[in-house]
Structure formats: structure tokens, C-alpha cells
Amino acid sequence: MTASKSSRARAQRARANAARNGSAAGRANGTGTAVKAGAPVKAATSAGGRSPSGATRGSAADQRAPRGAALTAEATVEAPSTATVPLWLQLVTFALALAGLGVSIYLTIAHFTESALLGCSESGIVNCTKVTTSPQSYVFGIPVAVLGLAFYLAAVGLMSPWAWRAARYRREIYLIRIASLVVGMGFVLYLVYAELFIIGSICLYCTSVHALTFLLFVFVAVAAAAWGLPARDRA
């Protein structure tokens, strides 16, 4: 009888221990529910019901998102500029270049044929013959008229609408156009100085070429300032 009571007491203590173990496991699980003795305890879930593996996947996605945004921003910055210069500006610069070419051809012909320039005075402050036959009409042994002809032959190509459209993707076209006009303006300043302070006379045809070169310089500078240069091609 005593042995039977002892067995029942041990059984009750064993059940009590199992119940306490289950309650402790339930509290560790964060659910407050008891877990049967010997049953595996599941990993605790994070706040919001996501498991640690889900949280890891979410954090990896969050890390990938800024990286993708950075790549998109970088591609946007490095992409060549596709801003199109207005057609009216393209046509105006092309017309100015054609006009300069026409005057340069006439001055070159007059230089080699030694003929008088039509409608230009040969006395006083306006004296085309005095200007075109002066020592300053040569630069490095080359007639200024020939240099002007070469300049405007290149300008017609660089100022054509086809060149303007191609310059959206070819940065070197834009740079050559700007560089040629900077050099052209340098020559214009020298020739104006020579006419006013060395020769003492001006030539109307030469002055018209100077004015056309100045206008081209202004229009190209405005285009570069307003619409920018194409980005450097890093491909």
C-alpha cells in the first residue's frame, strides 16, 4: 500500500515537472502557450509575424533597391545629351556660314585677279584696295582671303543642320565647332586692329566677313550655354 502511494506521488511529480517545462518553453516561444514535453520548439518569429529568414530576405531586397537606384542615376548622368538645338538656330548659323563663304570666294578671286572690289571706295577711311593689297593681307605668307575661304568651307559643314543633329551624339563635332570659332575670332580681332591702327583704312567686304564670324561665335556660344555639350562617350 505504501509502495503504491509512493508510485502515485512520483507520477504526480513527473507530471508537474512536465507541465512546468512546457510553460517555460511557451514563454520562450513568445506565445504564452505550453508546449508538450519533448516537442521541438519552433524558432521565434519577429515582430509583425515575419520569420528571421523572411526578415533576412527583406533586408537583402532593401539593400538591392538603393543599389539599383544608384545605378539608374549613374546611367542617367553618363548618358549623352540628346537636347536638340532649335531648328531656327541651325538654319540661321547655316545661312551665316553660306554668306561668309560667298564673300570669301569673292575676296579670293579679287585677290588673285587683282581686280577692284565692286561698290567699295578706294579713298578715305573706306579703301578696299589699300586693305587688300597691304602687307597685313598676308598671314604666315598666306593671303587672308584664302584663310577666310578655308575657314568658311569648314564652317558650312559644321553649321549645317546635319552636323548639328550629329553633334548631339558626337562631342568632338561640338568641340571642333567652338574651337574653330575661337580661332576665327582671334583672327578677326587682329585684322580689325590692323585696319584701324596700322593700315588706317577699312574694307567693307572684310568687315562683313568679320561681322558674320562674330555672329556665328555668338550663336554657337548661346547654343552651348542654353543646351549644353553632349556628355563624353565612355563606351
Q: Tens of pLDDT along 45-56?
A: 444 444 444 444
Residue 125's Cβ-count burial label (10 Å; 0-12, 13-18, 19+) is: exposed
The predicted pLDDT at position 193 comes to 95
The pLDDT-based confidence of 39 (bands split at 50, 70, 90) is very low
Helix (H) or strand (E) holding 223: helix 204-227
Q: Is the pLDDT of residue 11 over 80?
A: no
Give the mean model confidence (pLDDT) for residues 164-192.
90
pLDDT per residue as tens digits for the range 143-155? 999 999 999 999 9
Render pLDDT for 78-134 as a digit per residue (tens, 0 to 9): 434 445 789 999 999 999 999 999 999 999 999 998 888 888 877 778 898 889 889
pLDDT recorded at residue 71: 43
Helix (H) or strand (E) holding 60: helix 52-78
* CATH placement of domain 87-227: 1.20.1440.130
What does the DSSP 8-state code read for residue 35?
Answer: -
pTM score > 0.85 for this model?
A: no
Domain boundaries, the chain: 2-78, 87-227
In the numeric block, which cell numbers belong to residue 224? 552651348
| Confidence at residue 116, expressed as pLDDT on a 0 to 100 scale | 83
Q: How high does pLDDT run on average in the chain? A: 76
> Does 8 have pLDDT greater than 80?
no
Average pLDDT over residues 214-218: 97
Rg (CA), the chain: 43
Average pLDDT over residues 18-40: 49
Q: Which residues of 30-40 are buried (b: 16+ CB within 10 A; e: fewer)?
A: eeeebbeeeee
The closest of 116, 94, 108 to 137, measured between CA atoms, is 108
In angstroms, the CA 75 to CA 232 distance is: 13
Q: Is the pLDDT of residue 2 over 60?
A: no
Q: Which amino acid is present at 20?
A: R
Q: Which candidate, 18, 24, 16, places its Cα nearest to that of 41? A: 24
